[in-house]
Amino acid sequence: MTSQERAAVYRKIDPEAWQRLFVVGDLHGCYDLLLDKLARRGFNKQHDLLISVGDLIDRGPENLQCLKLLNEPWFCAVRGNHEQMAIDALQTGDNGLWLANGGSWFLRLGDEGQRNAQRLITRCARLPLVIDIPMADRHIVIAHADYPADDYGFERPISAEEVLWSRRRISRNQRGRGVTISGATHFFFGHTPLNRIRNYYNQYYIDTGAVFGGELSLVELKALPV
């Protein structure tokens, strides 16, 4: 991986540019649920930033609306495996894997809706795999499924497939065989639906199955314990 490619994999966010910072679990088309959650938390679109752990689309009812969040200055995201499936399907013409995992909403759109969705899915290919937020008293890293090393380093070469798909770390954590990831204080992941937020060592898993009737988890980052 070249240095230019590594730069596209990681994105650094300045926490001082925002009054409040939130990270949200996998949306999977649950747009109205997100708006309701933000309203109840007093989210201010002029001053606050919402960061998604990826999987904006598939399985839920409002996929195009969730993709349109990419146009909002108060929203950013890492790429999830469902975005990657959509990207691959549109690039190759083979949509079997995407359709098998909730992508059929795209086929139900009209021509204009599909064109809009295609443009936004193309933008998803430019989403980072890792968002890095250095603070004075904590250092937060956000990725979709995993950070595939036990020692974090900004712009360190990593496997995109593992970042997007791997459940090895959470499986080890659940068996009591996990470890702290050095190099940052807090890591946030989605990808694996759980009945509540799970914290193992310095890792937080916040996909709480909103699309399956669970909670949509929203965590305020500056309010985390040091």
Tokens in use for 79? 């790429």
Report the alpha-carbon distance of residue 56 to residue 33 in Å, rounded: 13
Question: In the annotation, is 28 catalytic?
Answer: no
Under a CB-based contact definition with an 8 Å cutoff, are residues 190 and 80 in contact? yes
How many angstroms separate the CA atoms of 25 and 190, rounded? 6
Cβ–Cβ under 8 Å, residues 145 and 125 = no
Phi, psi angle pair for 212, to nearest 5°: -100, 15
Tokens representing 221 are 């980052």
Q: Which residues contact 36 (CB under 8 A, 6 or more apart)?
A: none
- Which of 82, 144, 186, 191 is the catalytic position? 82
The DSSP call for residue 127 is: S
Question: Beta-carbon neighbour count of residue 135 at 10 Å?
Answer: 17
Name the residue among 52, 221, 54, 84 with its Cα closest to residue 144.
54
String of DSSP letters for 103-148 = GGGGGGS-HHHHHHHHHHHHHHTTS-SEEEEE-SS-EEEEESS--S
Neighbouring CB atoms inside 10 A of 159's CB total: 14
CA–CA separation, 141 vs 150, rounded Å? Answer: 13
Active site residues: 82
